[in-house]
Structure 1
């Protein structure tokens, strides 16, 4: 019986070991499947907002990580944004921050949070961390950071292999999004002056109309045109005329607020959108535009010859029953025509 008991016990032990191995295999299969889900979520994300909502959230949920975040090199990945903190999951930092932290282009892990620079210390309770550089052609364009309250979470070498493979996928996803935005930006940008173009105008006006409908915030729309610009072009040539347009846009940008929108409608015609708040004085804005034009024309020797005329529309004042982009542009254009007809170098529509 002793021999039989030994065999039974050994078989039972073997069965327990097999069950443990099967459990480990199943866990690894689940994690492998989870890893693929995270990869696909990164590659299929159509915006940075979607990255915060899906792949970064999936990372935390599937792999028992308390927090997963991305730090983006703002000097390389210059996404359009209103803030450098997106949902506390994506943070923008200048390139020097990445150079300072990553003395070597490899993942860093540990338990001592004192080794993490303040810009990367976004989680208060850190037991351990794993921060990996995301590189393209040897340049660090971002970093993926994983934080856990468990001090032993990132000790095994498997974590390093996992994050290295994932970092490449994240690089591809980020570059895809950035390249898409560059193409979109170029399609909406005037090639000569660098301001918005006519293609972007309807979208920009539409955004302001939506803002008004949602928050009750009005705005001004201005169509402006250079007086006697054809005479300048005919006398000096188109290159001089082009330089004049560039100088005007540069001057306008300096005088307008960061929230104001400047675009070139075409030729020597511009559009300007001024989101309204309690501090907006539309007469003062138009005076600034006139002042910029006067300085540019005086500097180039066309003082008294060239000027600037404009038509101003106020939303909702001019459209009490609701505004649409086409109607706003038509009214501004007709008021611009009135300014031309009434002697030029003036703005119509700013009367109280």
Structure 2
């Protein structure tokens, strides 16, 4: 199942059933951008932190390292610090998950290379207990994995690359399958397992927070704030590629009477039923939002108004022909709609369809009213062609 760019509703989150922790295929595009920015921020923070801390250990190297190794170690530390500083400095104003993954791999590879250089510089000196601290870097690198919200696939791949990079020295010297090496790998694997669990926990928490922040809890549709943000994105895409874009505002007729006569439980069931109807009748690429109370709003990308009108008429027909069952009985309902083309900017287009909706109400409800062309906001690129 491929998640559409537009509809990030709560029912879709529920259907994921944990697959959102396995990979990114089910993730909303907005969430991926937010996570990419989050990962990039932490990468920069860690890169800056260790670029500063690494050279501060040089005086300790001078005091405890054997003769002939200090200068090489100092050079290795300076190279590590400069590399991390470059990773901190080199950033982009446009975040993408792919770029965030690349930078995360670099963050893990750079200290792994430093660890390899350390093993080669110190060699047999590492058997000295006073230099035991120089063997702890792999565990620190793996512990850093815990601070990133990653999927199981991302975490497993990063774990493999990290452990492989940390094992290069063992492979070069033919110690990869020795008892001591296997013990070290086992310990690294255990710590890495804990790190992956921490990654999944962070990702799960962020997904839940994103769901609550972007969807309406009753209907599972986009809330007003999230809808307006995504509608702006669709408008920009429409103008860029000269594609038509329709917008409609729908309102349930006499909804207050439903609540007063049948109770709020019945009213909630009507809202849920109408939300499900919109999801069934509209495409996965269409935006659907609860605009407030009994008002709903939809945006249909690459759909001229005359085509959108057919879709809206079908929705209104289904409303009047379907009854909603609840604990106390059955309730019928209808809806009215205002329809127009989304052009120029969202707010002016929304104002136009709101007026059309008001006219539909004035004309008797249970009907669709299009925005007259002379009242349509300033035309976009598609109309000018």
How big is the shift at 1:345? 1.1
How far 1:178 sits from its partner (Å)? 4.7
| Contact 2:219 2:271 (C-alpha < 8 Å) held by counterparts | yes
RMSD: 4.7
Q: SS at 2:222's partner residue?
A: coil
Partner of residue 271, structure 1: 297
The CA distance in 2 between the partners of 1:227 and 1:179, in whole Å, is 39
- Structure with the bigger RCO (C-alpha within 8 Å, sep 6+) is 2
Q: Quick one: structure 1 residues 339 and 180, their matched pair in 2 at CA, closer, same or farther if it must change by over 3 Å?
A: same
User: Is the CA contact 1:193–1:249 (under 8 Å) kept in the aligned structure 2?
Assistant: yes
* Contact 2:270-2:324 within 8 A present in 1 as well: no
The equivalences for 1:321-336 within 5 A come to 323-336=344-357
Quick check: 1:256 aligned with 2:282?
yes
Aligned length: 258
Partner of 2:359: 338
Corresponding residue for residue 369 of structure 2: 348
CA distance in 2, matches of 1:344, 1:154: 77
User: Pick from 211, 223, 242: which aligns with 2:237?
Assistant: 211
Task: Give the TM-score of the pair, scaled to structure 2.
Answer: 0.53
Q: Unaligned stretches of 5+ in structure 2?
A: 1-65, 114-144, 374-385
Between Structure 1 and Structure 2, the one with more strand by share is 1
Partner Cα separation in structure 2 for residue 245 and residue 314 of structure 1: 25
C-alpha displacement at 1:187, in angstroms? 1.9
2:355 pairs with 1:310: no
Quickly say closer, same or farther: Cα 1:154–1:51, change in 2 above 3 A: farther
Distance 2:103 2:289 in 1: 35
Q: Work out the CA distance in 2 between the residues paired with 1:160 and 1:33.
A: 32
Kept in 2: contact 1:247–1:296 (CA 8 A)? no
Indicate conservation of the 8 Å contact 1:197/1:264, yes or no: yes
Residue 213 of structure 2: which of 173, 180, 187 is its match? 187
SS state at 1:292 partner: helix
- Which structure features the higher share of helix residues? 2
Of 239, 253, 274 in structure 1, the residue corresponding to residue 265 of structure 2 is 239
Q: Residues 161 and 184 from structure 1, CA distance in 2 versus in 1: closer, same or farther, beyond 3 angstroms?
A: same
Match in the other structure for 1:100: none
User: Tell me, what secondary structure is at the counterpart of 2:221?
Assistant: coil
Query: Do the aligned partners of residues 50 and 174 (structure 1) sit closer, same or farther apart at CA in structure 2, a change above 3 Å counting?
Result: farther
- State the match for 1:52 in structure 2: 101
Distance change (3 Å), C-alpha of 1:154 and 1:233: farther
